[in-house]
Amino acid sequence: MRDGQPNKYSNMSNKRPPGEIKSSNQLSVKKPKLSSVTAPTNKKQASVKPEPKAEDDDDDHLPISQRIKKSPTSESKSSSIKKTTKVVSSSVKKVNKKSKKVMKNSKYSKSSKVPPSSGEGKKWNKLEHNGVIFPPPYKPHGIKMLYKGKPVDLTPEQEEVATMFAVMLDTDYMNKPRFKENFFGDWKKILGKNHVIQNLEDCDFTPIYEWHQSEKEKKKQMTTEEKKALKEEKLKQEEKYMWAWVDGKKEKVGNFRVEPPGLFRGRGEHPKMGKLKKRIRPCDITINIGKDAPIPECPVPGERWKEVRHDNTVTWLAFWNDPINPKEFKYVFLAASSTLKGLSDKEKYEKARLLKDYIQGIRAAYTKNFASKDPTKKQIAVATYLIDKLALRAGNEKDDDEADTVGCCTLKVENVEPVPPNILKFDFLGKDSIRYQNEVEVEAAVFKAIQQFRSGKEGSSDLFDLLDTSKLNAHLKELMPGLTAKVFRTYNASITLDDMLSRETKGGDVAEKVVVYQHANKEVAIICNHQRTVSKSHSAQMLRLNEKIEELKAVVEELKSDLSRVKKGKPPLKSKNADGKPKRNLNPESLEKKIAQTNAKIEKMERDKETKEDLKTVALGTSKINYLDPRITVAWCKRHEVPIEKIFNKSLLAKFTWAMDVDPSFRF
C-alpha cells in the first residue's frame, strides 16, 4: 500500500553546470573545527583539488532545493513508471549476497571481548542502572478457536501463539501468504506433530479475535480516573528502570522494556514476516554497568542475567539477541534527551557543517570524474552525485533473508531509466520498503554515464557493479575527515532549512512565520523522501472540508443578497438564519463585516485544505528529529521572536537542550 502511490513531488531538476570552483587553496584553509572528527590524513585532500575553471553560475554551494528547477517536460510523470518485469537472471551480479546461512558456528572467540581500558574510545567513567523490565507472563483466556468448525483445546503456550495471530486478523498481513506460512510453521512446532490442527485454512480464529476486540473496547470504556490509576500503577512499577546514573548524573533511559513476544512484522515483502518472536528472559540479557556499580537485581524471581559486562567503550546498558535474527542485537540505550546522545547528535551536525566547507571542491571533483577513464572512479563520481543531489542513502548489501530494498550503491539497472535527452527516472523501494519515485534532469555527462553503466546488463543486475558502500565511504573519507554518505543527507537537509528560513521569513505575525517554517520543513521531508500512508479517513475529511466551504459560500451569497436588499430598503428574502434564529444585524455595515469575515474563513479553509492534501503523504517529523540541526531552528526563533515551543514539542525540547543557548546569529 505504501508503495502504491506515486510521489507527486518528483523533482525535475538541476542544471548545475559542471566546473566552477574556488581555488584549491581555499579548501585546505578551512580547518575542521571539530574535535570529534578524527582527522585522518589531511594530505589526501589533494584529490578534491578543484581546477580553477569557472563558469559562474555559482550555485554549487546552494542547497538542493535551490538547485532544483522544474523541468519543462514534467507533466504526468509518475503514472507511467512501471517495473518492467524482467526475467530474473543469474547474471552479472557478483555473487556477493553473503553466504550468510553457511557461516558455521564460528563461536565468536571472545578473546576480543573488550578493548576498554585504553581510555581512547571511552564513553563514560561510571555507569549504574537497574536493568530492564519484562512484560508480564501470558494470561490464558480460554477462548476456544475453531478447527473445521469445532472448538479446539489448546495449551496456554499454543493459545498464546494462536492469539498473536488472531489479533492480526484485520491487518494487511492476512493477505500475505508468506506471513501465514511462516506463522503456521512456527505454531506447528508448538502444537506438535500429531495435533488435530493440521492446516491453517481450516482454522477459525474469530472467537479469539472477537474476544480481543471486546477487551479493547472494555479498556476504552474505562473512566478517566480508572485509566489514570492504572497509569500511575505502571509508572510506580517502572520508575526505577527509567533512570541511569552516568558519571554522577541522573540520565533518562530509553527503552528499558524488553520487547514482548509476538509475530514478526517485517516491512515490505520480508521473508521472515509472521515468524514467532519468542519471549525474552533474563538469561538472554547481557547487562553493562560500571566496574564497581551494584549488579541490577533480576526482576524475575529465581532467574538471572546471562552476563554482566563492564565495557565503557560502548553506550548500551543492556542487550539481547534478536530472536528473529539471532546474530543481531537489541540494545537498551539512554534516552534521546541524555547528555551522551546529545553530544553525539551535536557531533553529527558539526560534521555536516564541516562538509559545507568542502562541498564545492567535492562537487567539482566528482563532476570532473563523470568522464573518468577509470571505471571505478567514474562510478564513484556518479554515485556521489546522486547521493548529494538526491539525498539517497548509501545502500549496503542485504542478505537474502531480508526484504529486497536498495540504496544508491545497490541500485539495479531497472531502477533508473534514462529518458533522453537528460532525464533520469528513478523507481525503487528504499529503506522500510518505501517507494522512491523521482524524475530528475541531470547533466549530460551523468546521463551518458548511467546509460553506459546500464548497457549490456540485465534489469536485475547492479547499476554500480564496481561499487559498494565501503569503497564509496573510503573514497569520501579522503575528501574530508569523517565524511560518509549519510553526512550528505544531514548536510542537504539542514542547509535547505537554513536557506529557506533566511530567504522566506518576511514580517508578519508568529503564525505566518510558523507557516514559513513548516513549508521549509516540508521541503526537507520531500528531499529525504519521508513518506507516510494516507490516512484511512483522508478522503472523507477532504469531502467534509469541501462541504463546509460550499456551505460558507452559500452563506456569503445570502448575505450579499440581504445586503443589496437592505440597501434598497427591502427586508431579507428569508427572515431566519439556517439555524432557525431570526436574522438580526440588518444594517449594511454589519452585513459587510459579516461577509468579509466569512470570506476570510473560506480562504483559511481553502488554505488548510491545500496543506492537508499537500501533506497527506509527507511525514514532517522524521526530518525534524534526525536531520535538521536544532540550532538553526533555535537561532531563527530567537531572531524572529517565535516561541520555540511553536516548533519543538516537549520531547524535542528535551532532546535538543544542547542547542538552546545558541547565538541568535547562528547559521548552519
Partner DNA sequence: CCCATATACTCAGAGTCATAATC
Partner DNA sequence: CGATTATGACTCTGAGTATATGG
**Catalytic machinery residues:** 627
Does 30 interact with DNA (rule: CB under 7 A)?
no
CB of 639 to DNA, least distance (A): 22
**Per-residue contact flags (x/-) with DNA for residues 379 to 418, judged by CB under 7 A:** --------------xxxx-x---xx-x-x-----------
CB of 623 to DNA, least distance (A): 7
In this chain, which of 319, 453, 464, 517 binds DNA, going by CB under 7 A? 319
Q: How far is CA 513 from its chain centroid?
A: 26
How would you classify the pairing of strands 307-309 and 286-288?
parallel
Sheet holding 416-419, edge to edge: 416-419, 423-429, 435-441
Task: Judge contact between 200 and 206, C-beta under 8 A.
Answer: no
Q: Is residue 146 packed enough to be buried (19+ CB in 10 Å), middle (13-18) or exposed (0-12)?
A: middle
Q: How many chain residues are in contact with DNA, going by CB under 7 A?
A: 91
162 versus 197: smaller Cβ distance to DNA = 162
> Per CB under 7 A, which of residues 262..281 are in contact with DNA?
262, 264-268, 270, 277
All three cell numbers of 665, joined, read 546569529
DSSP H stretches of helix in 176-270: 177-191, 206-221, 224-238
All three cell numbers of 636, joined, read 531563527
Does 558 interact with DNA (rule: CB under 7 A)?
no
170 versus 201: smaller Cβ distance to DNA = 170
CB of 404 to DNA, least distance (A): 8
Contacts of 585 (CB under 8 A, 6+ apart): 591, 594
Q: How far is CA 230 from CA 173, 222, 223, 658, in A?
A: 32, 10, 11, 34
In this chain, which of 76, 109, 117, 665 binds DNA, going by CB under 7 A? 109
Question: What are the phi and psi torsion angles at 510 (to 5°)?
Answer: -55, -45
CB of 120 to DNA, least distance (A): 9
All three cell numbers of 339, joined, read 547528555
In this chain, which of 41, 214, 237, 537 binds DNA, going by CB under 7 A? 537
> Per CB under 7 A, which of residues 620..639 are in contact with DNA?
621-623, 625-627
DSSP state of 456: T
Q: Which of 400, 441, 436, 434 has its CA nearest to residue 415? A: 436
Task: Judge contact between 248 and 138, C-beta under 8 A.
Answer: no
237 versus 396: smaller Cβ distance to DNA = 396
CB of 133 to DNA, least distance (A): 10
Does 344 interact with DNA (rule: CB under 7 A)?
yes
| Exposure string for 188-201, b = 16+ CB within 10 A, e = fewer | bebbeeeeebeeee
In this chain, which of 199, 206, 215, 329 binds DNA, going by CB under 7 A? 329
Q: Which of 362, 387, 381, 395 has its CA nearest to residue 453? A: 381
Does 521 interact with DNA (rule: CB under 7 A)?
no
Task: Judge contact between 35 and 91, C-beta under 8 A.
Answer: no
Q: In this chain, which stretch among 299-307, 373-381, 617-625, 631-639 interacts with DNA, using CB under 7 A? A: 617-625
In this chain, which of 18, 430, 481, 630 binds DNA, going by CB under 7 A? 430
Q: Is residue 578 packed enough to be buried (19+ CB in 10 Å), middle (13-18) or exposed (0-12)?
A: exposed
> Per CB under 7 A, which of residues 453..482 are in contact with DNA?
469-470, 473, 477, 482
Tell me the angle at which helices 375-390 and 444-454 cross, rounded to the nearest 10 degrees.
120
Does 652 interact with DNA (rule: CB under 7 A)?
yes
58 versus 347: smaller Cβ distance to DNA = 347
Chain length of the chain: 668
Residue 26: other Cβ atoms inside 10 A:
13
199 versus 344: smaller Cβ distance to DNA = 344
Residue 129's beta-bridge partner residues?
Answer: 244
Does 108 interact with DNA (rule: CB under 7 A)?
yes
Does 236 interact with DNA (rule: CB under 7 A)?
no
Q: In this chain, which stretch among 75-83, 445-453, 500-508, 644-652 interacts with DNA, using CB under 7 A? A: 644-652
Q: In this chain, which stretch among 145-153, 340-348, 415-423, 585-593 interacts with DNA, using CB under 7 A? A: 340-348
Does 327 interact with DNA (rule: CB under 7 A)?
yes
19 versus 323: smaller Cβ distance to DNA = 323
CA distance 259 to 177: 25
All three cell numbers of 93, joined, read 551480479
Does 123 interact with DNA (rule: CB under 7 A)?
yes
Does 490 interact with DNA (rule: CB under 7 A)?
yes
Residue that the C-alpha cell 551522551 belongs to: 340
CA distance 405 to 427: 11
CB of 211 to DNA, least distance (A): 16
CA distance 92 to 545: 54
Q: In this chain, which stretch among 101-109, 142-150, 182-190, 375-383 interacts with DNA, using CB under 7 A? A: 101-109
Q: In this chain, which stretch among 190-198, 440-448, 555-563, 643-651 interacts with DNA, using CB under 7 A? A: 643-651
Question: What are the phi and psi torsion angles at 522 (to 5°)?
Answer: -65, -40
CB of 56 to DNA, least distance (A): 32
Does 532 interact with DNA (rule: CB under 7 A)?
yes
In this chain, which of 22, 348, 565, 667 binds DNA, going by CB under 7 A? 348
> Per CB under 7 A, which of residues 138..177 are in contact with DNA?
171
204 versus 397: smaller Cβ distance to DNA = 397
Residue 321's beta-bridge partner residues?
Answer: 329
Q: In this chain, which stretch among 254-262, 361-369, 556-564, 593-601 interacts with DNA, using CB under 7 A? A: 254-262
Q: In this chain, which stretch among 5-13, 184-192, 337-345, 451-459 interacts with DNA, using CB under 7 A? A: 337-345
| Exposure string for 371-396, b = 16+ CB within 10 A, e = fewer | ebeeeebbbbbbbbbbbbbbbbbbbe
In this chain, which of 28, 91, 255, 598 binds DNA, going by CB under 7 A? 255
CA distance 644 to 23: 40
565 versus 609: smaller Cβ distance to DNA = 609
65 versus 422: smaller Cβ distance to DNA = 65
